[in-house]
Amino acid sequence: MTIDESRLDSIIDEYNGEQGSLISILQDIQAQYQYLPREAMDYVAMRLKIPRVQVFGVATFFKAFSLKPKGKQRIHVCMGTACHVRGSKMVLEELERKLGIKAGDTTLDNEYTLETVNCLGACALGPVVVKNEEYRGQMTPIKVGSLLDTKKP
């Protein structure tokens, strides 16, 4: 991937290139790209004058950071306790089957990213699935097809 160094410079400069701002810098980069491109992390290491392994260490330590590109559409399946007891595992398995990917992955055409979360704060509606920003409650394996574009598998 080709990265726009001027975009990265403006983020890094906002924090005066301070090594102590590494996490904030990575958060801002992820907000721009929806993930942390390897080239961007290399560039940050160079600009902050810290070893690349330190940047990669932080990026892999925090679950909020993603090193993989995200799809155009993001589907989150709640696996919190309330949703779990109502069958969210079966909902997730059906989505994995229909999309041909595992949770945490993105389809080859970059259309969908499937992820799990622990609680979306809407337990009474469980099992809950969020497609992009839209909450869908009382989800079942049969209903998950309605989350996907009909032209998709």
Strands (E), the chain: 73-78, 112-117, 129-131, 134-136
User: Among 62, 28, 59, 66, which Cα is nearest to 41's?
Assistant: 59
In whole angstroms, how close is the CB of 128 to ligand FES at the nearest point?
A: 5
In whole angstroms, how close is the CB of 64 to ligand FES at the nearest point?
A: 19
Q: Does residue 126 interact with ligand FES by CB under 6 A?
A: yes
Among 43, 80, 92, 130, binds ligand FES (CB under 6 A): 80
The DSSP symbol for 83 reads H
Here the tokens at position 141 are 């394996």
Q: What residues numbered 18-77 form the site for ligand FES, per CB under 6 A?
A: none
Among 7, 122, 143, 148, binds ligand FES (CB under 6 A): 122
Looking at the DSSP assignment, which residues form a beta bridge with residue 113?
A: 74, 106
Dist CA 20 CA 54 (whole Å): 12
Taking CA atoms, 51 is separated from 4, 38, 54, 122, 123, in Å, by: 21, 14, 5, 42, 43
Q: Does residue 103 interact with ligand FES by CB under 6 A?
A: no
In whole angstroms, how close is the CB of 50 to ligand FES at the nearest point?
A: 39
Peptide bond into 127 cis (omega under 30): yes
In whole angstroms, how close is the CB of 34 to ligand FES at the nearest point?
A: 23
Among 24, 81, 110, 138, binds ligand FES (CB under 6 A): 81
**Closer of 26 and 130 to ligand FES (Cβ):** 130
Among 48, 120, 130, 144, binds ligand FES (CB under 6 A): 120
96's enclosing H/E stretch is helix 88-99
Q: Where along the sequence are the contacts to ligand FES (CB under 6 A)? A: 78, 80-83, 119-123, 126, 128
